[in-house]
Structure 1
Amino acid sequence: MKPNANDIKRAINPPDYYRVALPDVPLKRIGWNDGGLCPFHGDNERGSFRVNTQTGGFKCFSCGAAGGDVIAFEQKRHGLTFPEALEKLAREWWLT
């Protein structure tokens, strides 16, 4: 049985996910953290991209990229459909 979105959200801890997805960014506190350079545009200055370590949400205040969880981040970052993002996360986080 393939994991669904709720399975993925329960199994993947957002701080752990972002430590892998954004390895150069030290995530320290609960809630919104500096996410480093935005991976969705040619960002060259830190400060406008944020990630939420509780929900997995992300927001860039420069280019407007935003989403509510790690699934949305995976979709946007890799140009995946929702089912493709679920499959990729399940495979990479050993949920299948």
Structure 2
Amino acid sequence: MIEFEYSYQQITSEDIKNFENQFSVKLPLDYKKFLLQCNGGKPVKRRFKTADETITSSLMLFLPLSKEIKFNLYSYYHQFNRIPKEVSLFKRV
């Protein structure tokens, strides 16, 4: 389980359905569960190494579905008009 310094306002299954319908995407079940539980946020542990320990990476924020901050799933989708395939968790419907 990921521990968060903070997360965002709780959302409902209806909020997720609205997002999926608006953008004609289907979110994976485990990601929906994550959004319902945490709705994104800033993780306590932000630095990670690859399995072979050759690359260190940082993860600063999981985007929330709610619109309480500028960077959220809606704004990302609007800005790029898609979720890039290389980072996508989304499945087109």
**TM-score normalised per structure 2:** 0.29
Higher relative contact order (CA 8 A, sep 6+): 2
**CA radius of gyration, larger in:** 2
The structure in which a higher percent of residues are strand is 2
